[in-house]
């Protein structure tokens, strides 16, 4: 159970009187997709409330820099890019309600409902933009070491490893290779452990890593055990070809082994594919009238900031059309 002030005071959440808030458009999630939707809908003078579980910015705010987002001067800090989107959305009048844990959603009614600890939000339209999160390292004691030895965000936690002897990065895609380069700003050495014998990262990312003499790679290997009592001291890895086990000393491990959609509270109500992503048509409409989806949580093949904002724009324009046709039918 999440520890809240109400829990500590022995108050049941049902006993808290909830504020009732109405909008034209509710957006769930304040990453690039949700914020872009909010920029468009609030600019179209639709009252828009974005409900965010954490702090606004999404995954993009957790990466050191983004080099492939159009219209930037070469590269831009992930947090800077997202701060711009937040200001733009607020500037057009969107309300962003952050740090709101969503207890339940009711998508079956004409007015969609989001219920949090202290509010009931209602609107004829909901745009789901809950994105994706890192797949956890599948080893015992991962939860014990999470945040203290095992990490999923180098921008957030990399500085904890200033002058560390060795930090391990698990994975071989763009995020793993780019974040390994970033971690060399702090650690004396970074070891990438990858399950295959070549990277799936872009050529540019691979070249950057190859030129960095603080980075070494262990191919064909997977992490099997976290070593250490109170603090992590290393990992035991298995070579998947020879099955030979060995221990690599390390102060911390950063994991980039793929993503999983954040559809936990939605999957009973929305049509999702076999991998848990929400299905929609080209207009971002889901199987439920008035419910749209945008960004990484949608069933699609490319998950980037550019595609998330594209989805957000498409969802918003179709939301406007949906609300206009709904109004004309009344």
Ligand X SMILES: Cc1cc2nc3c(=O)[nH]c(=O)nc-3n(C[C@H](O)[C@H](O)[C@H](O)COP(=O)(O)OP(=O)(O)OC[C@H]3O[C@@H](n4cnc5c(N)ncnc54)[C@H](O)[C@@H]3O)c2cc1C
Half-sphere exposure of 84 (CA within 13 A, CB side): 8
Residue ranges in 49-99 assigned as alpha helix (H): 78-91
The yes or no reply on residue 295 touching ligand X (CB under 6 A) is yes
Give the Cα separation of 210 and 92 in Å (integer). Answer: 44
Which CB sits closer to ligand X, 46 or 255? Answer: 255
Can you tell me which of 40, 296, 318, 322 binds ligand X, judged by CB under 6 A?
A: 296
Whether the CB-CB separation of 42 and 92 falls below 8 Å is answered with yes
Whether the CB-CB separation of 141 and 227 falls below 8 Å is answered with no
153 is catalytic: yes
3-state class percentages of the chain: helix first, strand second, coil last, to nearest 5: 30, 25, 45
The yes or no reply on residue 175 touching ligand X (CB under 6 A) is yes
Which CB sits closer to ligand X, 64 or 92? Answer: 64
Of 302, 132, 142, 306, nearest to 232 (Cα)? 142
Taking every pair of Cα atoms in the chain, the longest distance, rounded to a whole number of angstroms, is: 70
- C-alpha distances (whole Å) from 20 to each of 52, 90, 121, 124 are 17, 21, 6, 14
The yes or no reply on residue 304 touching ligand X (CB under 6 A) is yes
The yes or no reply on residue 157 touching ligand X (CB under 6 A) is no
Which CB sits closer to ligand X, 33 or 137? Answer: 33
Mark the segment that binds ligand X (CB under 6 A) among 52-60, 136-144, 221-229, 320-328: 52-60
156 is catalytic: yes
The yes or no reply on residue 58 touching ligand X (CB under 6 A) is yes
Phi, psi values for residue 242, rounded to 5° = -100, -15
Give the Cα separation of 96 and 54 in Å (integer). Answer: 11
Which CB sits closer to ligand X, 234 or 308? Answer: 308
The yes or no reply on residue 39 touching ligand X (CB under 6 A) is no
The yes or no reply on residue 303 touching ligand X (CB under 6 A) is yes
Can you tell me which of 81, 201, 226, 305 binds ligand X, judged by CB under 6 A?
A: 305
Whether the CB-CB separation of 238 and 138 falls below 8 Å is answered with no
Q: Which H helix or E strand runs over 317?
A: helix 305-328
98 is catalytic: no
The yes or no reply on residue 310 touching ligand X (CB under 6 A) is no
Which CB sits closer to ligand X, 135 or 141? Answer: 135
Which CB sits closer to ligand X, 37 or 191? Answer: 37
The yes or no reply on residue 60 touching ligand X (CB under 6 A) is yes
Whether the CB-CB separation of 204 and 231 falls below 8 Å is answered with no
- Range 129-148, binding ligand X (CB under 6 A): 129-132
- Range 201-260, binding ligand X (CB under 6 A): none
Whether the CB-CB separation of 7 and 31 falls below 8 Å is answered with no
Which CB sits closer to ligand X, 228 or 276? Answer: 276
Active-site position among 156, 197, 249, 281:
156
Mark the segment that binds ligand X (CB under 6 A) among 61-69, 158-166, 214-222, 223-231: 61-69
Phi, psi values for residue 177, rounded to 5° = -70, -40
Q: Spell out the residues 6+ positions from residue 329 whose beta carbon is closer than 8 angstroms to its own.
A: none
The yes or no reply on residue 102 touching ligand X (CB under 6 A) is yes
Mark the segment that binds ligand X (CB under 6 A) among 55-63, 211-219, 222-230, 322-330: 55-63
Give the Cα separation of 298 and 301 in Å (integer). Answer: 9
Active-site position among 83, 95, 98, 153:
153
Residues near ligand X, by CB under 6 A = 28-34, 51-54, 58-60, 62-63, 66, 68-69, 102, 129-132, 175, 179, 262, 265, 295-296, 303-306, 308
**Catalytic residue set:** 153, 156-157
């Amino acid at each position: 159970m999440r520890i809240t002030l109400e829990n500590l005071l022995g108050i049941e959440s049902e006993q808290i009187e909830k504020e009732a808030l109405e909008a034209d458009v509710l957006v769930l999630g304040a990453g690039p997709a949700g914020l872009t939707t909010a920029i468009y809908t609030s600019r179209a003078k639709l009252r828009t409330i974005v409900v965010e579980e954490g702090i606004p910015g999404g995954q993009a705010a957790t990466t050191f820099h983004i080099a492939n987002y159009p219209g930037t001067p070469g590269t831009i800090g992930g947090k800077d890019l997202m701060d711009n989107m937040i200001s733009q959305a607020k500037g057009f009048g969107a309300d962003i309600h952050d740090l709101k844990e969503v207890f339940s959603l009711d998508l079956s009614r004409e007015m969609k409902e989001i219920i949090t600890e202290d509010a009931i939000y209602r609107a004829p339209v909901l745009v789901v933009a809950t994105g994706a999160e890192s797949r956890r390292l599948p080893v015992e004691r991962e939860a014990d070491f999470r945040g203290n030895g095992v990490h999923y965000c180098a921008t957030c936690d990399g500085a904890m490893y200033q002058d560390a002897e060795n930090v391990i990065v698990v994975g071989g895609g763009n995020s793993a290779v780019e974040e390994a380069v970033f971690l060399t700003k702090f650690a004396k050495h970074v070891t990438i452990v990858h399950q295959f014998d070549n990277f799936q990262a872009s050529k540019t990312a691979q070249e950057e890593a190859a030129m960095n003499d603080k980075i070494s790679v262990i191919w064909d290997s997977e992490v099997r055990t976290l070593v250490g009592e109170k603090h992590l001291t290393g990992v035991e890895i298995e070579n998947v070809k020879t099955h030979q086990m060995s221990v690599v000393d390390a102060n911390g491990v950063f994991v980039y082994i793929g993503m999983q959609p954040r559809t936990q509270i939605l999957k009973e109500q929305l049509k999702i594919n076999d991998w848990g992503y929400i299905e929609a048509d080209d207009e971002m409409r889901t199987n439920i009238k008035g419910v749209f989806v945008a960004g990484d949580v949608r069933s699609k093949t490319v998950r980037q900031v550019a595609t998330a904002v594209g989805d957000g724009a498409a969802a918003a324009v179709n939301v406007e059309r949906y609300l206009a046709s709904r109004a004309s039918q009344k």
